[in-house]
Every structure is written in structure tokens, then in C-alpha cells.
Amino acid sequence: TMTRHEWAAEVRRLARERDAVILAHNYQRPEIQDVADHTGDSLALSRLAASVEASTIVFCGVHFMAETAKILSPEKTVLLPEPEAGCSLADTITADDVRAWRAEHPDAVVVAYVNTTAAVKAETDICCTSSNAADVIRSIPEDREILFLPDQFLGAHVKRVTGRDNIHVWMGECHVHAGIDGATLRERVAAEPGAELYVHPECGCATSALYLVGSGAVPQERVKVLSTGGMLSAAESTTAGKVLIATETGMLHQLRAANSTTVFEPVNPRAECHYMKMITAEKLLGALRAGTTEITVDAATASKARRSVERMVEIGS
Ligand code: 13P
Ligand code: SF4
């Protein structure tokens, strides 16, 4: 058996041999985040997938992320170390659902969260991630009706921050973030009255967090609704003694590494995405050795989805 150090050295050696770049999402296991060339949120990783020089991308994340990388870089080989790593949110809508919904609103602009299959993306006008969702909505003329899919909590959040009332929202959810609910949040906030709060907009508690601010229970400056990349930037400069984190618990690894004087604690320590955790040390090594599993998107679907995804990559900071 290999030590952790030998494993990392072997992963790096095989990646060089394959001319591969390793990209890891912020929810990956700590050892995967540490061995990767780049760790980041969905938007940052999509931008990297579009711009890196390497001929192969090993995507340590879930299936829709590897598909998005392939759509943006069709000439590259994209490997997903565990092809069964799916997403409960992406599973809440099909391409047929989008076509039927659009037929009911023929003049609407269809905005899709990046957590969707390539087939769904091909039926949409523009994609977004949690870090640029509001900017994507603002890029659409105010008088246009909008269909936002598939996440109901992110949808409610963008409606609130943009102030637009002509946005229809698909009622999907991510089981991990939906499980970080208002009751759990209120309990944690009551127990930690001085702490800051970073909330991912996919959370069931995103509305409750703003209600806590609105009712005066928590001062406005202590509550931030952020993507995982936004959480990391905020963590680097905070002077708070403690920050409560409402998102998947893999995020804590990056936050703690970025700032060792602040204490970061999960709002719900059971909020773990088993799909993200399917990428293990052994799986990554096996993928690099065998060149598996290659993710492909058929050419017709990819070219339709590409317009939507390229717009996403261009919008927001
Ligand atoms: P971000 O890293 O873009 O905030 O995405 C969160 C997520 O749930 C990805 O599955
Ligand atoms: Fe999908 Fe939720 Fe897992 Fe992200 S955390 S990959 S949205 S199931």
C-alpha cells in the first residue's frame, strides 16, 4: 500500500505523462483538492476548462461538470474518475420538460443553472452558476419573461436580488442543500449569536437567512449569500471569530486553509454530497492509469448547448 505522499507523487507523475490537468470542485475530498492543479467553484472550473493548454482534463466533480468541460473544449479528452457521480438537482428536469415548459411560454428567455445535463442545456438560451446568476438575469431585457431552472431556492434568490417579478421558477432542489433548512439555521444562529453566516443560494434556508436579517435577529453585515468561490474570497479577508457555513461540508477544507484565525463550522454537519465523495484517491489513480471514464457529448447536442454555456462563461466576475 502507498502512503498519501507516494499516492500524490504518482498522481502527479501520471498526469504529466498524460498531458492532463486535474480540476477539482470545492466539495471534493481534501486529498483530491490538495493534489489537483486547480480547485474552485463551477464558474471558475468552467473558465479553466475552456482555457487550459493540456490535451486532457481529469474532472474531479460530478457528471454535469465533466459534460460542461467537454462542451467548452470539444477537442480535449475529458475524464471523470467515477461516471456514476451524478447530481440530484440535475435529475429534476429533462430536455422534454424544458421543451414542454417553453411551449407554454413561447416568448420567454430560458435560463438554466449549470447543474443540468447537456441535453437540457441544449434546450436553453443561457446558463448561469451561483456566482453569476443575478448578472445573467440582469443581462436580459427587463420586459422579457424568464423561465429559470431547475433550482427553486436559487430561483427565489435571483428573483429577490434582481427585483424582477416576471421570472417563473422550476421547483427542483438539491437534496444536500435543501437539507440545510430554516429550522436548523435558526437553531445554530441562536446558539452562536456573534458569528457571521455564509449561505449558498441552493440552501433551503436561504430565505430564512434573509428573514433573520429582516426581522433584526442578525445584523445585515453578518450574513452573506455566496457561491462556494465567493465564500472562499470572503473567508480570506474576514476578521470574524467564527463563521457558520451553510453548504456542502467539503467546502470547509478550503476555508480553513485560507484563514487559520477564524473558526469555520458547518450549519449542518451532515450536509454531505455522496456523489461528490465518489471520487476517491483510488478512483483518481485508476482513472489516470487507464484513461477512464471518457465523457463525450454528441455533436448536435454539444453545439446547441455551447451557445448557452459560452454566454455563462462571459458574464460576471
Ligand atoms: P458552486 O461551487 O458554483 O457554488 O456550486 C455549488 C454546487 O452545488 C455544485 O454542485
Ligand atoms: Fe448536485 Fe447537490 Fe451534489 Fe452539488 S451538492 S452535486 S447540487 S447533489
153 falls in which pLDDT band (50, 70, 90)?
very high
Sketch out the chain's domains with CATH numbers. Answer: 4-86+276-298 (3.40.50.10800), 90-173 (3.40.50.10800), 180-266 (3.40.50.10800)
Q: Ligand 2 test: best mutation among 59, 153, 176, most atoms within 8 Å of CB?
A: 176
Interface predicted TM-score (ipTM) of this complex, two decimals: 0.98
Which tens digits make up the pLDDT trace of 61-84? Answer: 999 999 999 999 999 999 999 999
Which amino acid residue places its CA nearest to atom 6 of ligand 2? 87
| Separation of CA 1 and ligand 1 centre (Å) | 33
| Separation of CA 301 and ligand 2 centre (Å) | 23
Which amino acid residue places its CA nearest to atom 1 of ligand 2? 87
| Separation of CA 276 and ligand 2 centre (Å) | 7
193 falls in which pLDDT band (50, 70, 90)?
confident
The response to whether residue 78 sits with its C-beta less than 6 Å from ligand 2 reads no
Residue 211, pLDDT score:
84
The share of the chain scoring above pLDDT 90, in percent, equals: 94
- Span 94-107, average pLDDT: 98
- Span 9-29, average pLDDT: 98
Which amino acid residue places its CA nearest to atom 3 of ligand 2? 273
The response to whether residue 248 sits with its C-beta less than 6 Å from ligand 2 reads yes
Full-model pTM: 0.97
The response to whether residue 130 sits with its C-beta less than 6 Å from ligand 1 reads yes
Residue 219: burial class (beta carbons within 10 Å; 0-12, 13-18, 19+)? exposed
Q: Ligand 2 test: best mutation among 174, 180, 247, 279, most atoms within 8 Å of CB?
A: 174
Which tens digits make up the pLDDT trace of 282-313? Answer: 999 999 999 999 999 999 999 999 999 999 99
Is residue 176 predicted with pLDDT exceeding 80? yes
Which amino acid residue places its CA nearest to atom 4 of ligand 2? 87
The response to whether residue 26 sits with its C-beta less than 6 Å from ligand 1 reads yes
- Span 135-139, average pLDDT: 97
Looking at the CA of 228, name the nearest ligand: 1
